[in-house]
Amino acid sequence: MNIQVEPNIEAAASERDMANAIRALTMDAVQNANSGHPGMPMGMADVATVLFNRFIKIDPAKSDWPDRDRFVLSAGHGSMLQYAIHHLIGYPDMPIEELKRFRQLGSRTAGHPEYGHALGIETTTGPLGQGLATAVGMAIAERMMAARFGPKLVDHHTYVIAGDGCLQEGISHEAIDLAGHLNLGKLIVLWDDNRISIDGPTSLSTSMSQPARFKAAGWEVRIVDGHDTSDIAQAIEKARKSRKPSLIACRTVIGRGAPNMEGSEKIHGAPLGADEISATRANISWADESFVIPENVACAWRSIAIRGRRARSAWQARLGSSRRRKGFEAAIAGGLPRNIGRNFSAFRKRHVEEATEVATRKASEMVLGVINAATKLTVGGSADLTHSNLTVTEGLGSVAPRHFKGRYIHYGIREHGMAAAMNGMALHGGVIPYGGTFLVFSDYARGAMRLSALMEQRVIYVMTHDSIGLGEDGPTHQPVEHLAMLRATPNLNVFRPADIIETAEAWELALASEKTPSVLVLSRQGLPMLREAHTRENRSTRGAYILREAMGERDVTLIATGSEVEIAKAAADKLMTESSVRAAIVSMPCWELFEKQSEDHRRSVLGNAPRIAIEAAARLGWDRWTGDNGAFIGMSSFGASAPADDLYKHFGITADAVCSKARDLLRGAAS
């Protein structure tokens, strides 16, 4: 078959020269920083040059253009590959000075590519496999947007460079299975098959046939010489025509060009040293000084941007004349309908008045009914627990191979892959992803959840079955430490609502939180209505509030979250009737938001009386709110398998236990 692959005709320099520019900049920057990973950028320089020179559709002058191709450097330690290319192509924020400040404080050239640090970085990578799994989400979002707005507005590729590490990590399995299932033909993964890992040859730890593995997952696979530019180009060309996702196994030599170090793990993660850099310069006939690029080479790279600019102009014209323009722009902006606040308020008012008593997972489903009707942006899903997480609402429609008009994704039993895909969807834009699993399986999704927070993405995790309250499934399914784990994570809002009203409030806050992902921590078991009257104000906004003040001066303050607020209320009633002890009840659905309040406000909520916190989870962290004279009622071990009521009694999380503790504290304070 005769493949037409045209190299960039404006380039005077060869692609070999262009690739050597990546090698030279990489060596120089890593040497200058005395830190970094030269092996991958030097090994994959030829592949990346061909990809960018002949195929990729980006415009550095407008790097967030919605229909651009997405490029994901999943092997993020090879960040100099991306920075070198960004400099060479002419991203305005990537002058040579930034490359000289590689890995320094405040530079755009962090050790690993960081989303938001420099234009054109589509996602943060570094933890291996994340880039690949995030790219799957981008490719899903592309198909969904194309289904909604048509191919004239949405038609782009997602390219990934992945290393051996990315393909060994478990998350890669979840990602490629999902991508193969959904026939994501516009996803193209270039695997840096250099057969070297940090410990030595990959044969130390794997005998996997990656081509066979990807074929088993429904991918097209090609194998190329990663230093033969026409071989590479033909494979990418064919992959672009495939209706399946493509793996291109690029047989490369790590550190290619360094005469004494190439092909060895020694060049993976350390500077080459002055001598080897000299030898490499000689070997690749690179005469220029450090950080200097010959004009013809620079020219060749910059001309790539011209192709991109033209493509963007053409797209802009199509958008301008499209009747779908408004809808498309609104989707990309990611805003919510103006009246959604009213819908939330009406929902809350109705349910306070009806005193609706449901599990908060059920409440979440009811709120989602309102949300999913009000906006087309939300895309739901679950890691195969749809009818437990209650994440689907009527008429959403399922996403399926060749059917991307639906808004509900069956992610399969793949919590990590789901979280990473949601990151990719949020980064892609045009959709607001939420996805469900059991709270305990945040363990499986942690790696990607951390990136939601680090990248400041509006990803919403619906995590049900949130404590021993789930009952018989036992300790493997009962979260204990997970609230602490999530609360300790920077830039992550953890909501544990106590009733349907707080659940609606949490959803409203999560949707409005454009730079902070949220975790909604929801009960399996039914919960009573706690709110006594409707307020227009979303009372969860400040993180905690006085659900019921004591009658008269407080003797004790009971602080609780989620299903334990009910226990606090029962305890407060008991304390009054049995011991005339005046207890205030504070509901604290979101620590992070409470932490942001002024100290005065926090003190006004927490009060000066002794405090008891009640939460069916680990104590870690609670001392901040209970203080030196406070107490905690919760879990100090793993859970157990039994009906929920038996477990609450067994672990001593009861109104009686709270009362007894309150009396102890008051005796202590009096004595």
Confirm whether 599 is a catalytic residue. no
* Residue 127 known to bind ligand: yes
Residue 592 CB, nearest approach to its own copies (Å)? 11
Residue 163 CB, nearest approach to its own copies (Å)? 9
* Residue 196 known to bind ligand: yes
Choice between 345 and 513, CB closer to its own copies = 513
Name the residue among 622, 656, 653, 613 with its Cα closest to residue 637: 653
List Cα–Cα distances, 185 to 200, 216, 407, in angstroms.
34, 16, 19
Task: DSSP for 217-278, please give it.
Answer: TT-EEEEEETT-HHHHHHHHHHHHH-SS-EEEEEE--TTTT-TTTTTSGGGTSS---HHHHH
- What is the gyration radius of the CA atoms in the chain, in angstroms? 28
Residue 125 CB, nearest approach to its own copies (Å)? 7
Choice between 293 and 613, CB closer to its own copies = 613
How far apart are the C-alpha atoms of 161 and 232, rounded to whole Å?
Answer: 13
* Residue 477 known to bind ligand: yes
Dihedral sign from CA coordinates of 463, 465, 467, 473 = negative
Choice between 125 and 364, CB closer to its own copies = 125
Task: Enumerate residues 6+ apart whose C-beta is below 8 A from 387.
Answer: none
Task: Enumerate residues 6+ apart whose C-beta is below 8 A from 176.
Answer: 132, 136, 213, 214, 217, 219, 245
* Residue 336 known to bind ligand: no
Dihedral sign from CA coordinates of 35, 40, 42, 46 = negative
* Residue 520 known to bind ligand: no
Dihedral sign from CA coordinates of 123, 127, 132, 134 = negative
Strand partners, 461: 435, 519
* Residue 128 known to bind ligand: yes
Choice between 49 and 79, CB closer to its own copies = 79
Choice between 107 and 561, CB closer to its own copies = 107
User: Which residue blocks in 489-563 are alpha helix, DSSP H?
Assistant: 500-512
Residue 429 CB, nearest approach to its own copies (Å)? 22
* Residue 380 known to bind ligand: no
Query: What is the 3-state secondary structure of 290-330?
Result: CCCCCHHHHHHHHHHHHHHHHHHHHHHHHHHCCCCHHHHHH
Choice between 453 and 609, CB closer to its own copies = 453
Residue pair 659/476 in contact (Cβ under 8 Å)? The answer is no
Backbone angles phi, psi at 494, to 5 degrees: -110, 115
Choice between 201 and 337, CB closer to its own copies = 201
Choice between 330 and 640, CB closer to its own copies = 640
Choice between 580 and 636, CB closer to its own copies = 636
Residue pair 486/519 in contact (Cβ under 8 Å)? The answer is yes
Tokens 């991306």, located at residue: 82
* Residue 164 known to bind ligand: yes
Could you say which of 415, 502, 508, 592 is catalytic? 415
Classify burial at 476, counting beta carbons within 10 Å of its beta carbon; exposed 0-12, middle 13-18, buried 19 or more: exposed
Name the residue among 467, 452, 576 with its Cα closest to residue 516: 452
Tokens of 326: 């408004």
SS3 616: strand
Residue 447 CB, nearest approach to its own copies (Å)? 5
Pairing of strands 200-201, 378-382: unpaired
How far apart are the C-alpha atoms of 263 and 632, rounded to whole Å?
Answer: 58
Choice between 218 and 429, CB closer to its own copies = 218
* Residue 443 known to bind ligand: no
Residue 611 CB, nearest approach to its own copies (Å)? 11
Tokens 């009406």, located at residue: 346
* Residue 465 known to bind ligand: yes
Rounded to the nearest angstrom, the gap between the alpha carbon of residue 206 and the centroid of all alpha carbons in its chain is 28
Residue 383 CB, nearest approach to its own copies (Å)? 9
Residue pair 229/16 in contact (Cβ under 8 Å)? The answer is yes
How far apart are the C-alpha atoms of 266 and 259, rounded to whole Å?
Answer: 13
* Residue 273 known to bind ligand: no
Residue 568 CB, nearest approach to its own copies (Å)? 21
How far apart are the C-alpha atoms of 569 and 579, rounded to whole Å?
Answer: 15
Residue pair 37/269 in contact (Cβ under 8 Å)? The answer is yes
Strand partners, 631: 612
Choice between 95 and 170, CB closer to its own copies = 170
How far apart are the C-alpha atoms of 3 and 234, rounded to whole Å?
Answer: 7
* Residue 71 known to bind ligand: no
Residue 619 CB, nearest approach to its own copies (Å)? 8
* Residue 643 known to bind ligand: no
Residue 97 CB, nearest approach to its own copies (Å)? 16
Q: 503-513 burial by CB neighbour count: b if 16+ within 10 A, else e? A: bbbbbbbbbeb
Residue 207 CB, nearest approach to its own copies (Å)? 4
Annotated binding site for thiamine diphosphate: 77, 126-128, 165, 194, 268, 441
Residues assigned a catalytic role: 415
Annotated binding site: 37, 77, 126-128, 164-165, 194, 196, 268, 361, 388, 441, 465, 473, 477, 524
Annotated binding site for substrate: 37, 268, 361, 388, 465, 473, 477, 524
